[in-house]
Amino acid sequence: MKEKKISREEVRYIAHLARLELNEEEEEKFSRQLGEILAYVDKLKEVDTHSVAPTSHVFTLKNIFREDKRKDSLLVEEALRNAPEQRRTQFQVPRVIE
């Protein structure tokens, strides 16, 4: 498998886009690894897939929906029974926005 070369400048650019700081050793390592990945992708392109139907899943998927049934909701007292703090008929939570 012929390895494609990804330059360290390209690795620096990708790292910049990803907001990563890499040292020289990491740049060299990622340059080599990305090159190996691209070479493998090129190898996969050689596989004849003309007789293979496009799929998004290995198995056929089917949605299984339950029938909507109306049910009585919880009483307020029952819903608030395990609330650590409550105020009137509501859950009391710490203030997040000041």
pLDDT reported for residue 2: 64
What are the extents of the domains in the chain? Answer: 1-69
| Ordered DSSP codes for 33-55 | HHHHHHHHHHHHHTS--TTSPP-
The answer to whether 35 and 6 have CB atoms below 8 angstroms apart is yes
31-59, pLDDT tens digit by residue? 999 999 999 998 888 999 889 888 877 78
**Average pLDDT estimate for 58-69:** 84
The answer to whether 5 and 39 have CB atoms below 8 angstroms apart is no
pLDDT reported for residue 16: 96
The domain at 1-69 falls in which architecture? Orthogonal Bundle (1.10)
pLDDT reported for residue 66: 86
